[in-house]
Amino acid sequence: MNRPTATDRPLVAVVLAGGVGTRLYPASRSHRPKQLLAIGGDDSLLERTVARVDFADEVVVVTRPGFEDAVGEAAPDATVLVEPAGKDTGPALAYATHRVADRFADPVVLAVPSDHHVDGDFEAAARRGARVATETGALVTFGVEPTRPDTGYGYIEPGPDHGDYADVAAFHEKPDAETARRYVDRGDYWNAGVFAWTPAAFRAAARDTPLGPLLDALDAGDPTEGFDAVDPVSVDHAVFERADDVVTVPLGVEWDDLGSWDALRRLLPADEDGTVAVGDVDVVSLDAENNVVAGEDVHVSLVGVDDLTVVAYDDRVLVVPTERAQQVRDLVAELERRGEF
């Protein structure tokens, strides 16, 4: 049976913009998600992402209730799809894929997070992944060639190579430092969280997973009931790590996840003291080096401290060793428990 080629099918970019971004606290808060922040540029992260995928036939931004108006203002030329509840990327992408399949004939979905730094020919890689998804009927995950043994990313272990893509031998969770070095030496990719699939392939792979009740409810026309029936889960855990037919396509661009404060030290220029300043902030350093300072209309003085991240937004101040920036997520969990996020 001949499959239609990628050029025969509309390419629909689904931009994920329903998260809050807990690791960028206190810049990101429950009322101010990170995708609406202009971190490291003049435009918001969401605006930059929508511009990056404007080659698609349609751009759909999926978000949670409460963010609809702000997302619509940031992406006026995109279709804004509001999921019934924020329950991570698994339910969000199942819902978006269902809606896209209802609207378009034989589409290919390109799923893209709204909080990544990308520099390079993203379009070429995305179109290649869409073509692979169409021609193979597989789920496609895009891999990034690592530049360092990073413990903050998941890894993709490639299997047999087929030219434009390779089979996925295994997915690996965020490793410790020694394991990360082994993954990099072996030739594993970083998992960029960018995907491509046809709706038929996604539905087949997701049917017997934790997303199954949601798919049934979507078929019955009741997305709210479907979201009530599932727990928060990433699309990686719910679908990709369980599926039999998964391949990886190299992304081939400069890439980073702008999900935590330590990423800014990698991506933004530093002053003569090695300090990176983000936002409307004045910094004075005395015997202080390699710090990250972010804020909104604040003046920060640093004396005798190195490798710290200092963030001041609203009435909140965060101070954390930059190497422990990933643990801000744990802090936010405690703030949420207290009702203070």
| Bridge partner list, 196 | 110, 140
Sheet holding 316-321, edge to edge: 276-286, 292-303, 308-313, 316-321
Token pair recorded at residue 253: 């661009």
Which helix (H) or strand (E) segment is 52 a member of? helix 45-52
At residue 2, the pLDDT reads: 42
According to DSSP, the β-strands at 58-63 and 79-82 are: parallel
DSSP assignment, residue 49?
A: H
Query: From CA 113, how far away is CA 265, in angstroms rounded?
Result: 21
At residue 39, the pLDDT reads: 86
At residue 6, the pLDDT reads: 52
The answer to whether residues 168 and 248 touch, using CB atoms and an 8 Å cutoff, is: yes
Which CATH superfamily does the domain covering 11-256 fall into? Spore Coat Polysaccharide Biosynthesis Protein SpsA; Chain A (3.90.550.10)
Is the sign of the CA dihedral 19, 22, 27, 32 positive or negative? Answer: positive
The answer to whether residues 148 and 142 touch, using CB atoms and an 8 Å cutoff, is: no
According to DSSP, the β-strands at 58-63 and 308-313 are: unpaired
Token pair recorded at residue 70: 């702000």
At residue 40, the pLDDT reads: 79
Query: From CA 85, how far away is CA 103, in angstroms rounded?
Result: 22
The answer to whether residues 319 and 330 touch, using CB atoms and an 8 Å cutoff, is: no
The answer to whether residues 125 and 251 touch, using CB atoms and an 8 Å cutoff, is: yes
Collapsing DSSP states into helix, strand and coil, what is residue 87?
coil
Per residue of the chain (341 residues), give pLDDT as tens: 344 445 589 999 999 999 998 999 999 998 899 999 998 788 999 999 999 999 999 999 999 999 999 999 999 999 999 999 999 999 999 999 999 999 999 999 999 999 999 999 999 999 999 999 999 999 999 999 999 999 889 999 999 999 999 999 999 999 999 999 999 999 999 999 999 999 999 999 999 999 999 999 999 999 999 999 999 999 999 999 999 999 999 999 999 988 889 999 888 999 999 999 999 999 999 999 999 999 999 999 999 999 999 999 999 999 999 999 989 999 999 999 999 99
Which helix (H) or strand (E) segment is 301 a member of? strand 292-303
DSSP codes joined into one string, 110-174? EEEESSEEEES-HHHHHHHHHHHHHHH--EEEEEE--SS--SSS-EEEEEEE-SS-EEEEEEEPS
Domain locations in the chain as residue ranges: 11-256, 261-338
At residue 259, the pLDDT reads: 84
Query: From CA 163, how far away is CA 160, in angstroms rounded?
Result: 10
| Bridge partner list, 318 | 311
At residue 4, the pLDDT reads: 45
